[in-house]
Chains A and B, each alone.
Chain A
């Protein structure tokens, strides 16, 4: 397992290099001039030229790419064109906001999604099953923006029991609405996956054996069946968590959450090249790390899986 992990970590290097290169050229071909975002609506060409020189934007693309790679090797993405702050510093400053929200959302989707899924499988073809599975369809289909607005309307404007938006200095109550909004689709999906995976497992012989031995239904479901049904669930949860960690632009915008998603969107809109590159690089890194953790968890949950660093 150790060899496998090291091998996977080493694989990060070419992958990240690839991501960085693709990002560089994608940003390069985007229409819109980064210098124009720095000067407002009334500007003169001299200032524009001066800025362009300072930012090496007057150089041919391969020279710019050279500067970029030289920085990348030192993990230095430079300073933001727009804020003047060091890119890596600002990305790391924004990440905790995103992380908290993602973690809370993931908790919601795992706890609620898995419980509902297990119960629905157990109560297969009962009204509980039909109602919850019907609800999950709604959950998967409802646009994030719409749900966010709805929750704000009900809980902040009408009932006034929860704050409408903002980070609120880390106050847990500020996290409820955005986390529920973010978790919604994932919760529904996890519930459905858990249900179908549980149903396969419940029909297995060893579960019948456990039942015959007189193991309680509760123990049978959660100790015997669930653990075996978890693999596909973990795959889904891992992928969702990875994408939450790269920032949830819509949720963050509706709830004025100062996370990585809005930060990156702002950078893209302003053509703040160093920030875009730094943020995308960081997101890719996080995504790869989560995937690695998910793979390691497979082996932990199902001891039959052996992780080998293949030659």
Chain B
């Protein structure tokens, strides 16, 4: 008798949780990694960028389509051949603590990122402003190209025209932080990655911004909860809260989605066929080509890889079309350049066709008839494992013996950035949707190593063309330049060019009005409606 009562109680206890634990007006989302610092000056990864772009806003922001749209500034003029930007601030803009957002906040926010004592890894976002370098070095008290003639106007002057500047201003590093009280003198809290002083860590753990959302709760490693910023002047979001849970394992995220306790799921590659094959879900799946290029970087300064003919031979030896078909299930576009589809400058070029015989001939002509040995470094990832193994097989047919070296990110990054490896599998995500964000960091010799150019590609013509593209304000001329540069680099084959992946998200039946943004920074969830009927 006792036993059956206990059993009944247990069943009742279990079934007690079978009804959906979701609250009707809360959007449930997952992050793969836990954000560490929510100070916009210190944002370095996707999770931090995503949360910061909800909490903070800059003068401008990205729309879900990737366009630059007004944020703290309602409108702006660009003068003097693209070197002077005059922004007019929204007089209604307020921080989530209720204080007004003034021009001096903008000024102080930029100064704190660029200040000599700041250790922001994102100074490059603002260093195009005239006088930024002098200010950063400590040789100037103020930033010459930054002024606020009145409370609602901010004037930015650049050293020279820079095409993508507006897009840079939509990045978290250019977000505006409060300087403390409407009338108080400008004193933004200093940026401190190491929290060497007490005031520095403040913003990183208790963020205050003027974005659409504000942070209510943050249990590190567990979840973050956001609610609409009551002082935001725009139309308020239609949901009451967003709850981001930190779920590191892909399987667990899928399980949560399938159990109905997650509203939006990025579908892992291995699960794509199952999701796309399910008719009941198909209309809830959205896809877009990612602004990301996957490649095998070849260190252009090491051994046989110094020779462009050898690098071309390696490209000819790998059947990339087959890799795309088989390993990505066709959900990727073959890369014949570094600029992804959807961005000005993307061109579908004649690819390095799969031609093992021609590759062998090139290699013999270069004096490597007997082949050679190289290491390819990679991080342990499902995508990487499959692709690198395939490439290893193709190159072996050419006589190039590949030793695959797997390391976790920290060791990988150190070795690759310092040029200590022959080759490596890596990808590059756009920080802002512009071809320049692929060409300059990845191929300009100024950025060799840590700046992004980890294949140590060096070509003076490419360098000067990239610089002139950056100075070009006219869009069509700029696009033409991007196309030319990307083509020139492709011909030099600094990488084994692979593909631009496509990614997919699926939303739960109760979510309506969601648009999968081109860039994760463009997400604001303001249009989402949660219907009651889907909540089962």
Chain A residues with CB under 8 Å of chain B are: 30-34, 36-45, 47-48, 50-51, 54-55, 79, 81-85, 90, 93-94, 97, 149, 152-153, 156-157, 160-167, 173, 253-256, 258-259, 262-263, 266, 269-271
Given A36-B417, A50-B119, A85-B205, A79:B451 Cβ within 8 A: no
CA of A37 to CA of B45, assembled, Å? 10
Given A54-B196, A84-B201, A258:B246 Cβ within 8 A: yes
B410 within 8 A of A: yes
CB of A161 within 8 A of CB of B14, answer: yes
CA of A36 to CA of B13, assembled, Å? 49
CB of A152 within 8 A of CB of B255, answer: yes
Name the interface size band of chain B.
35 or more
Chain B residues with CB under 8 A of A47: 119-121, 123
Chain B residues with CB under 8 Å of chain A are: 13-18, 21, 34, 36-37, 44-45, 119-124, 192-196, 200-201, 204-205, 219-223, 245-249, 251-252, 255-256, 258-261, 407-411, 413-415, 417, 428, 431, 441, 447, 450-452
A155 shortest CB reach to chain B, Å: 8
CB of B193 within 8 A of CB of A51, answer: yes
29 A-B residue pairs with CB within 8 Å:
A32-B414, A37-B413, A40-B45, A40-B121, A40-B122, A41-B413, A41-B428, A42-B441, A42-B451, A42-B452, A43-B121, A47-B123, A79-B195, A81-B193, A83-B37, A84-B192, A84-B204, A90-B220, A152-B251, A152-B255, A161-B15, A161-B18, A164-B261, A253-B249, A254-B251, A256-B247, A256-B252, A258-B220, A258-B246
CB of B220 within 8 A of CB of A165, answer: no
CB of A45 within 8 A of CB of B450, answer: yes
Chain A residues with CB under 8 A of B119: 47, 50-51, 54
Q: Which of A31, A79, A84, A161 has the most CB of B within 10 A?
A: A84
Chain B residues with CB under 8 A of A97: 222
Given A43-B121, A263-B221, A269:B409 Cβ within 8 A: yes
CB of B248 within 8 A of CB of A262, answer: yes
The 7 A-B pairs of least Cβ separation, nearest first, read A32-B410, A40-B44, A258-B221, A39-B121, A32-B411, A258-B222, A84-B195
Minimal Cβ-Cβ distance residue in A for B116: A50
CB of B222 within 8 A of CB of A165, answer: no
CB of B450 within 8 A of CB of A157, answer: no
CA of A265 to CA of B452, assembled, Å? 27
CA of A31 to CA of B412, assembled, Å? 9
CA of A39 to CA of B413, assembled, Å? 11
Chain B residues with CB under 8 A of A157: 255, 258-259
CA of A45 to CA of B21, assembled, Å? 49
Minimal Cβ-Cβ distance residue in A for B219: A258
CA of A44 to CA of B45, assembled, Å? 17
CA of A152 to CA of B18, assembled, Å? 14
Residue from A55, A83, A165 within 8 A of B36 (CB atoms): A83
Minimal Cβ-Cβ distance residue in A for B255: A164
Interface residues of B, dominant DSSP: loop
CA of A44 to CA of B450, assembled, Å? 7
A37 shortest CB reach to chain B, Å: 6
CB of A32 within 8 A of CB of B408, answer: yes
B231 shortest CB reach to chain A, Å: 26
Minimal Cβ-Cβ distance residue in A for B222: A258
Chain A residues with CB under 8 A of B44: 38-41
A310 shortest CB reach to chain B, Å: 44
CB of A84 within 8 A of CB of B124, answer: no
Chain A residues with CB under 8 A of B451: 42-44
CA of A162 to CA of B123, assembled, Å? 47
CA of A165 to CA of B249, assembled, Å? 10
CA of A83 to CA of B218, assembled, Å? 13
CB of A84 within 8 A of CB of B121, answer: no
Given A43-B121, A161-B14, A82:B36 Cβ within 8 A: yes
B379 shortest CB reach to chain A, Å: 11
Minimal Cβ-Cβ distance residue in B for A30: B411
CB of B251 within 8 A of CB of A161, answer: no
Minimal Cβ-Cβ distance residue in A for B202: A84
Chain A residues with CB under 8 A of B122: 40
CB of A160 within 8 A of CB of B195, answer: no
Told that A84-B37, A152-B252, A164-B261 touch, could you supply 20 new A-B pairs with CB distance under 8 A?
A32-B408, A32-B411, A40-B45, A41-B413, A41-B452, A79-B194, A79-B195, A82-B37, A90-B220, A93-B220, A157-B258, A160-B259, A164-B255, A164-B256, A166-B222, A166-B223, A173-B14, A173-B17, A258-B219, A259-B221
A146 shortest CB reach to chain B, Å: 11
Chain A residues with CB under 8 A of B121: 38-40, 43, 47
B440 shortest CB reach to chain A, Å: 10
Residue from B15, B123, B205 within 8 A of A44 (CB atoms): B123
CB of A43 within 8 A of CB of B450, answer: yes
CB of A254 within 8 A of CB of B249, answer: yes
Minimal Cβ-Cβ distance residue in B for A156: B259
B332 shortest CB reach to chain A, Å: 21
Residue from A42, A161, A270, A271 within 8 A of B450 (CB atoms): A42
